Amino acid sequence: MLFTWFTLTGFIFLFSPQNLTNKFQFAFFRFFHWPLSIGRNISLFADTQQPVGDKDVVSRDKYEQLQNRLDNVIQQRDEEHKKVETLSKMRNIPAWDRMGFVLADVITVSIDELRSELLIISHNDSDDCLTKGQFVLYNNSVIGTISDVDGRSAKVRLFTDPSSKIAVKIGDSDDLLMQGSGGNQATISMAKHEVNVGSNVMAGKKTGLLDIPMIIGKVVRCEHNTEPLLWDITVEPVSNIQNVKSVTVHIIIMNPPK
């Protein structure tokens, strides 16, 4: 009898709408925010980076941040050039100036073969600053999108998560669909052209969410698909997402509703 009642409860949870059952998860993370942060800090402590002594040398984290910024600016410059060519006499506002950002703290990081997810809480006091689908940035690169929201808390599905699908571009290619493959990688299956290892992969524009393409990863492998003339491309994040555990790092969410 006990077993039957518990099983019934389990099935109720299973078939309830996810936005309803998510409230239990968000409530747990809000309630245990403090001990969870301690657990993360202990985990971080073991991974503490050595201070850089030479003043001409920057840390890996800072280097990635600057490199991503550079790649984004180059991409933006190219986009602006195209616009200038077609609309040469019209006034144009740089894309970065049109964007809004919300800072958020990371509560938990879950990155393994089965899922790649962050749980964040925004700094903004407003409850409606986060919405599903917004892009999340770290070190000037896209790392994922918001998948569930509950007030100021949200789940971020990283682009390496198996259930994540994001439209991307490599160079001047058409839009390609990139799907996460768990761990720290994502794949673009059956691309029509071969690409060079190390090429930048840019998250495609999405109206209202991402005004300009932004760097998301780099190509680490390009292999022949079983179909002739098609290629399978493996992509890794440009930022070490493990570093998102760093307590000083904030997540930036683009274009929050005003």
Partner 1 sequence: MRWFRFAALLILATLLQASFFADLNSKPDLLLILLVFFAIYCNTSDAIITSFTIGFAADLIGRTMGPQMLSFGLFGTLLAYLHQVIAIRKMTYQSLAIFTTALLAGTLVYFLNLIKGVSSPPNICAALFGISLYSALVGPFLFLPSAWWMRIKINRLKPR
For partner 1, the binding residues (CB under 8 A) are: 2-3, 6-7, 9-16, 18, 21-22, 24-25, 28-29, 32, 35-40, 42-43, 108-115, 117, 162-163, 180-183, 242, 245
Which candidate, 223, 214, 218, places its Cα nearest to that of 240? 218
Task: Please say which residue, 45 or 207, places its beta carbon nearer to partner 1.
Answer: 45
In a 13 Å sphere around the CA of 167, the CA atoms on its Cβ side amount to 12
Task: Please say which residue, 169 or 245, places its beta carbon nearer to partner 1.
Answer: 245
* Assigned token pair, 31: 């309630």
Task: Please say which residue, 21 or 92, places its beta carbon nearer to partner 1.
Answer: 21
Phi then psi for residue 197, to 5 deg, are: -65, 135
Task: Please say which residue, 28 or 96, places its beta carbon nearer to partner 1.
Answer: 28
Task: Please say which residue, 108 or 199, places its beta carbon nearer to partner 1.
Answer: 108
Strands 251-254 and 135-138: antiparallel
What's 200's DSSP letter? E
What's 52's DSSP letter? P
User: Least separation, in Å, of the C-beta of 215 and partner 1?
Assistant: 22
- Helices and strands (H, E) in the chain, number of each type: 5, 12
Task: Please say which residue, 23 or 77, places its beta carbon nearer to partner 1.
Answer: 23
* One-letter amino acid of 138: Y
Task: Please say which residue, 181 or 255, places its beta carbon nearer to partner 1.
Answer: 181
DSSP secondary structure, 161-213, as one string: STT-EEEEEETT---EEEEE-STT-EEEEEESS---TT-EEEEPPBTTTBSS-
User: Least separation, in Å, of the C-beta of 183 and partner 1?
Assistant: 7
User: Least separation, in Å, of the C-beta of 77 and partner 1?
Assistant: 35
Match 């599905």 to its residue by tokens.
157
End-to-end alpha-carbon separation of the chain, Å?
A: 52
User: Least separation, in Å, of the C-beta of 6 and partner 1?
Assistant: 4
User: Least separation, in Å, of the C-beta of 2 and partner 1?
Assistant: 5
User: Least separation, in Å, of the C-beta of 246 and partner 1?
Assistant: 12
User: Least separation, in Å, of the C-beta of 166 and partner 1?
Assistant: 14
Burial of 109 (0-12, 13-18, 19+ CB in 10 A): buried
Which candidate, 235, 254, 255, places its Cα nearest to that of 142? 254
